[in-house]
Amino acid sequence: MPDTLAGYCCVEGNTLYISAIISKQEHRGNFRKFLDDVEQKFDIIKVPSPSLRMYKILKLRGYVSQYEFYEEIGETVRVMVFHRLKQHVEQYFDKKLKEKR
């Protein structure tokens, strides 16, 4: 975790779980820079129960909202998910569509 952020991350295989991230200096792009870095390193990134502000940032970056059941807590929670391969495939086809126009 960079010094500019406080929070908790957990790695399981090639999936990074990000939880309760708080920027120590808001509106400076610290969370964005962190995502730029980890999106290059992990195939899947999951953010369970994101704050409204995190949700908006993640949505703009192409994260998908889904619900997952976590046996440890016995609850279903909203999770924002990033799939690196899916992002690359979508970007490829978006580019091809633009070339045809």
Looking at residue 68, which CATH number applies to its domain? 3.40.630.30
Domain count, the chain: 1
> What is the residue-averaged pLDDT of the chain?
86
- What pLDDT, on a 0 to 100 scale, did the predictor assign at position 44? 94
For the whole model, what pTM was predicted?
A: 0.78
Both tokens assigned to 42? 């992990």
- What pLDDT, on a 0 to 100 scale, did the predictor assign at position 94? 65
> Measured between alpha carbons, how far is residue 41 from residues 18, 69, 80 in Å?
14, 25, 17
- What pLDDT, on a 0 to 100 scale, did the predictor assign at position 98? 74
Mean pLDDT, range 7-35, rounded to an integer: 89
- What pLDDT, on a 0 to 100 scale, did the predictor assign at position 53? 87
Alpha-carbon distance 80 to 65, whole Å?
A: 5
